[in-house]
Amino acid sequence: MLARFHEVRDFTGALVRNLAPEDCVVQSMPDVSPTKWHLAHTTWFFETFVLKKWMTGYQPEIPEYAYLFNSYYNAAGDMHRRDLRGLISRPTVAEALRYRSLVDDKIDNLIKHADEEVLREIERVLTLGINHEQQHQELLLTDIKHVFAQNPLYPVFRGRDGSPSRPSEVAARPAVAPYQFVDFDEATVEIGHGGDDFAYDNEGPQHRALVPAFSLAGRLVTNGEFADFIEAGGYSRPEFWLSLGWITVNEQRWPAPLYWMKRDSGWWNFTLSGLRPVDENEPVTHISYFEADAYANWAGARLPTEFEWERAAADLPMEGNFVESETFHPQPCHRHLADDQHLHQMFGDVWEWTRSAYSPYPGYRAIPGALGEYNGKFMCNQYVLRGGSCATSRAHIRKTYRNFFQPEKRWQFTGIRLARDPQ
């Protein structure tokens, strides 16, 4: 348990190793948190829910951190405004890193000297904290990408050759084959997590659900296919859009996915490895639910439900392009063939929007106390996404994992897999 704790904490440190202090303090929009805040908030989590509970006589070195780095746990006390996190100039980045080191040392000491009974209690919360840190690793990456995208110098987070400062060239690739739909018969299936290993509370209780017959596209929608939607006037044709989506796309003046920009030579895309031409073979990403739904309507299809997605994923290996590969960007589906009747890219690359509203499963009850605020209180006005992304840890994702965002959000690695009803 302690080795796993340090492995995950060290990976966070590895992700930020090439960032300057100036990079770590910028908040480019209310949804984005500065890198420094992520480093301190995940540390506050372990301090608050592990050290304060189980370390006898524990006193925080700087009590004010509990106010600055609480996120939304009302039962844990007051908190600084989320949209003003970029104004927290102190503690410095160096002090935030020192805070991490101090808490890590105290976690070491606690676990090494706790008896068996206490260790069993600690393990449950420490495991949640480790998974919480992995969630913030993903947020850290998507947040720093948004920060860098506001800079006309288009800084490179990590080049494909590992360089911290040089944009990477993209080699020519063979065209991805047209997708085929894979058919599934009607079935009553088990939905949700039912094992003894870790899962978030929103993944249960496991229950049976009737899933009518459906078909699912064998791969993700590509940049090239989404560009066809743009060229067909997709962003200016209201018949494809939900009413709120149409209002949003016009108010925000969206012409394309987030981070796309038009130049004389065509579409360009800002990535964590630099600014480069859009690769038509890569999965389209950084699109809202509204855009995903509009594209599906234009393509004569629809988005899958989360129950269809989970049923289709049940027997598949959890392989894909995850954060451990450190590509930090979706990759083309090289294995797909024109007559392929298999599903590809179900895990990693991009979070897949579903048409399912984020709501509790039958029999769901939030756990008591502050940790019960982790998922349950967000079950309103959001849609479920499945499968993980190139910024998600392979060790973090599950087939039952339910991510969720509001339908207008675009800064995460979100994309599209089409579904349709029986023909």
Task: State the CB neighbour count (10 A cutoff) for residue 186.
Answer: 10
Same fold? 2-149, 181-420: no
Cα–Cα distance between 304 and 292 in angstroms, integer? 11
Provide the b/e sequence for 307-321 (b: ≥16 CB within 10 Å).
bbbbbbbeeeeeebb
Looking at 174-326, which runs of residues are DSSP E strands?
181-184, 187-191, 207-211, 214-217, 260-263, 266-271, 274-277, 320-321
Cα 91 to chain centroid, rounded: 27
pLDDT in tens, the chain (423 residues): 999 999 999 999 999 999 999 999 999 999 999 999 999 999 999 999 999 999 999 999 999 999 999 998 888 899 999 999 999 999 999 999 999 999 999 999 999 999 999 999 999 999 999 999 999 999 999 999 999 999 999 999 997 555 555 555 555 667 888 889 999 999 999 999 998 899 999 999 999 999 999 999 999 999 999 999 999 999 999 999 999 999 999 999 999 999 999 998 899 999 999 999 999 999 999 999 999 999 999 999 999 999 999 999 999 999 999 999 999 999 999 765 556 779 999 999 999 999 999 999 999 988 777 676 667 788 899 999 999 999 999 999 999 999 999 999 999 999 999 999 998
Per CATH, which fold does 2-149 belong to? Four Helix Bundle (Hemerythrin (Met), subunit A) (1.20.120)
**Are 277 and 286 contacting, i.e. CB atoms less than 8 angstroms apart?**
no
Distances in Å between the Cα of 130 and the Cα atoms of 1, 9, 43, 354 are 10, 8, 10, 27
The pLDDT assigned to 265 comes to: 84
DSSP state of 51: I
Cα 9 to chain centroid, rounded: 18
Secondary structure (3-state) at 165: coil
Helical pair 93-113 and 35-46, crossing angle rounded to 10 deg:
20
Q: Is 259 left (phi over 0), alpha (psi -120 to 50) or beta?
A: left
The pLDDT assigned to 264 comes to: 87
**Are 167 and 275 contacting, i.e. CB atoms less than 8 angstroms apart?**
yes
Domain range annotation of the chain: 2-149, 181-420
Cα–Cα distance between 189 and 54 in angstroms, integer? 41
The CA radius of gyration of the chain, in Å to the nearest whole number, is 22
What secondary structure does DSSP assign to 340-371, as a single string?
Answer: --S----EESSEEEEEEE--PPTT--PPSSGG
The pLDDT assigned to 169 comes to: 55
> What is the token pair recorded at 302?
């629809």
User: Which among 248, 251, 255 is positioned nearest to 230, based on CA atoms?
Assistant: 255
124's CB contacts (< 8 A; 6+ apart) are none
CA 27-32-37 angle, to 5 degrees, is 70
Please give the span between the terminal C-alpha atoms of the chain, in angstroms, as a whole number: 50
Per CATH, which fold does 181-420 belong to? paralog of FGE (formylglycine-generating enzyme) (3.90.1580)
What secondary structure does DSSP assign to 93-147, as a single string?
Answer: HHHHHHHHHHHHHHHHHHHHH--HHHHHHHHHHHHHHHHHHHHHHHHHHHHHHHH
